[in-house]
Amino acid sequence: MRIIHTLGPESTDSVAAAAHIPEDDKHQLVLHDSFDEIIANLNQYCGDYFLVPAAYQSKQSNFGWRELSYQYWDQLTLESVYHHPLKTMCLIENQSFKQDKAIIHPATTNLLNSYLDKKSLTLPIHYAGSKASAYEKFVRDQYRFSIVSQDSLTAQSDYQILQTYHPDMVWCLYHIVKK
């Protein structure tokens, strides 16, 4: 049984995509708070696997899937590439916000910036390790905007859905090898 490191919690697109890895009968998922956490500890996971979407973007604005592929070429061997759609995402607004800020996963930055540009809005953007943790912080800290998986919203939430997104995604399963 192979051990696959990916983004948690259970509600993430990564966990859903792991269930669709081609020719994979058995695996054990190890869930992390961020992809950055996995990458920072690759040396500890030699022999294991790493599942990441091609849209991966770090909290560091200059590091994403492209940089991962080049910088870690000698630690990551691409084993499988497949497509599996992301869950429907939505841009939500808390009209009773306490903080005129947004909290999002870094990979959704362009979606948010596109909306803010159309509305001629400028506000600080904070980042979370997953859309699930962004939603948790959005609710707890009463941010104005977030982009989350629509299935994380509860029926009684008072948040306005401003836009929905239905992206398909390419997923990459890497074997983590010794440097």
Cα gap 106→158, rounded to integer Å: 24
Task: Say whether 89-165 and 2-85+168-176 share the same fold.
Answer: yes
Q: What share of the chain is helix, strand, coil (3-state, %, to 5)?
A: 30, 35, 40
Q: How confident is the model at residue 179 (pLDDT cuts 50, 70, 90)?
A: confident
Residue 110 in tokens:
């362009």
Fold of 2-85+168-176: D-Maltodextrin-Binding Protein; domain 2 (3.40.190)
pLDDT at residue 6 in the model: 98
Cα gap 136→25, rounded to integer Å: 33
Q: Which amino acid is at 135?
A: Y
Residue 80 in tokens:
């499988």
pLDDT tens per residue, range 27-44: 999 999 999 999 999 999
pLDDT tens per residue, range 67-106: 999 999 999 999 999 999 999 999 999 999 999 999 999 9
Cα gap 119→96, rounded to integer Å: 18
pLDDT tens per residue, range 108-164: 999 999 999 999 999 999 999 999 999 999 999 999 999 999 999 987 788 999 999
45-49, 51-55, 152-156: segment of lowest average pLDDT: 152-156
Judge contact between 163 and 114, C-beta under 8 A.
no
Using DSSP's 3-state secondary structure scheme, residue 10 falls into: coil
Taking domain 89-165, whether its CATH number is 3.40.50.920 is answered by no
Judge contact between 76 and 42, C-beta under 8 A.
yes
Using DSSP's 3-state secondary structure scheme, residue 136 falls into: helix
In this structure, what are the phi and psi dihedrals at residue 131, rounded to the nearest 5 degrees? -65, -35
Domain ranges of the chain: 2-85+168-176, 89-165
